[in-house]
Chain A
Amino acid sequence: MRHGWFALPRPGLRWLPVWRRNFLVWRKLAIPSIMGNLADPLIYMLGLGYGLGGLLPQVQGVDYVRFLAAGTIVASTMNAATFEALYSAFSRMHVQKTWDAILNTPLSLDHVLTGELVWAASKSLLAGLAILLVIGALGLVSWPLALWVLPVIFLTGLAFAAMGLIVCALAPSYDFFMYYFTLFITPMLLVSGVFFPTDQLPAMVQAVAAWLPLAHAVQLARPLLLGRIPDDIGLHLTVLVVVAGVSFCIATGLTRRRLLK
């Protein structure tokens, strides 16, 4: 075991009670939680979309607000999954010691982490779904193809939750998360085609952006919301699945080393 921290995760199916625990907490705070997931991105989207959009010609053949709506769903998914895997998971691991309590039961750390991973992705799905309903009501998406964005959101949530759990495993305190946001999440948000098409960027930045999971999520979600079948579906799905899988293996190894030593 000592040299086996990074053995493959063995999630099994017993992670479900961990997911249910988080769901029960969420249910008690559902309304403020949904408002928090919804209000901020919608204010930006509507403000920038109609305000800035009025100054712009069409972007990639659609009104700017429609272009931005698709980016907003993906960005909100990323934020929701990241916050849950960083701040909320860290609280449960380090502050409330909820994970320690669970580890005294027949569940293993792999079960706890799988429960947290799927929970963070579920929460990001709820956040994305809430925004989808609002922008749908505003007539900014094309049904029914837009419904396919839901599995994309869930997969995006898994990828960002898994990456977030790596950071959680390494964090000495909450302050550490600021590095992840300012050095990784925020730059990614700007170069992945959320606010403007990536072909506006210098070639070198575009080359980097092509590797970022958020860019792949955007390239899947935007066409679906605008009523088109995305190009290169296989490539984008593969990137997201690989990022989720590899990140989760690393996160599991690091967390085992932290908690089971």
Chain B
Amino acid sequence: MASLTGLTASTASVSDAALHVSGLCKSYAGETVIAGIDFVVPPATCFGLLGPNGAGKTTTLRCCLGLTTPDRGHIRLAGRPVPAEAEAARTRVGVVPQFDNLDPDFTSSENLLVYGRYFGIKDAVIRDRIPGLLDFAGLTGKANARIQSLSGGMKRRLTLARALINDPDIIFLDEPTTGLDPQARHLIWERLKRLMVGGKTLILTTHFMDEAERLCDRLAILDHGVLIAEGAPRELIASHIEPQVVEIFGEGAAAWAAIRQGLGERLEMAGDTAFFYCRDAAPLLAALAGETGPASGLRYVHRAASLEDVFLKLTGRDLRD
């Protein structure tokens, strides 16, 4: 009986889900890009897809939008099977692509008008929505500005406003703050939080861990086409990594750390910097206290473990291109 109830509950959650992906596989010319991934995004939550470059994030998003046909697997977006009913599903979806593709020949408001027409929305309805969207994007007064005259942050915000022209339930954001300065990033985050409060579902890819930690209710780490971890940001940190980190760097740091490996649960070296992962950092800090006077070249930072540590532990420190 319990299992039956469980089954009913999970079936219900799947059919209500904003996005449901199961068994997704995709390869190009014999090279596997996605090797069977499953995840569910409940409505009105923010889901983050993290992964190094080339992990398959963008391909996953393209499959979810019906722009790439998977080799295997099932996708339901906004209650519709994709790619079979992708066009209908996309009427309920907004997309902020990784690279701005605003129309350079148009002003801000013309960009919104022309984009709204692609959804089959009447001009009068779009024109009613434009002032509110420009206001939301902090672009009041820029309605008639040409795209070339906007800063990078303004273009990103206009792209976000454009993704809202059809009042979508689900918004895909592919690296929404890449290339922005801190002010612009914080403004985007604040707007995304407002959208979440308003009941929108957000699905974002990023490789900024602070962004994922701040925004996402749940996130999944994708590497080599498989999901290697999934959960709430705090859960992932708690379950995958020791709570404290001591980074030691400067002259002789590597040698110093190598002989004191036992002072932490785990030691990772990256160049000349030693990362000690500890449940209790007190013995290590005591050892360091004697060594890091003004005369010594050794320096250290003691901090709480973050999502970035989890990410590096799971995906390794090697460069990805």
Contact = CB atoms under 8 A, between A and B. Distances in A.
B105 A25 contact: yes
B120 A104 contact: no
A104 B103 CA distance: 14
Given A104-B90, A260-B67, A96 B101 contact: yes
Contacts of A20: 114, 117
A106 B67 CA distance: 11
Given A1-B69, A17-B117, A25 B95 contact: no
B103 A98 contact: yes
Interface residues of B, number: 29
A24 B118 contact: no
A105 B118 contact: yes
B88 interface: yes
B128 to A, nearest CB: 18
A100 B105 CA distance: 16
Contacts of B69: 1-2, 260
Interface in B91-150: 91, 93, 95, 97, 99, 101-106, 110, 114-115, 117-120
B65 interface: yes
Contacts of B110: 24
Interface of B: 28, 65, 67-69, 71, 83, 87-88, 90-91, 93, 95, 97, 99, 101-106, 110, 114-115, 117-120, 166
B68 A108 contact: no
Nearest to B102: A101
A210 interface: no
A218 B28 CA distance: 46
A102 interface: yes
Interface in A137-185: none
Interface residues of A, number: 24
B226 to A, nearest CB: 21
B39 to A, nearest CB: 21
Contact of B120 (A2, A14, A24, A101): A14
10 contacts: A2-B71, A17-B118, A18-B118, A21-B117, A24-B114, A25-B106, A96-B104, A97-B97, A101-B102, A105-B90
A21 B87 contact: no
Contacts of A107: 87, 118
A68 B19 CA distance: 62
Contacts of B115: 101, 105
B178 to A, nearest CB: 16
Interface in A92-118: 96-98, 100-108
Contact of B114 (A14, A21, A97, A260): A21
Contacts of B103: 21, 25, 96, 98, 101
A108 B102 CA distance: 18
Contacts of B104: 96
B129 to A, nearest CB: 15
Nearest to B93: A104
Given A21-B103, A261-B68, 12 more contacts: A17-B118, A20-B117, A21-B117, A24-B110, A97-B99, A100-B97, A101-B102, A102-B118, A103-B67, A104-B95, A105-B115, A105-B119
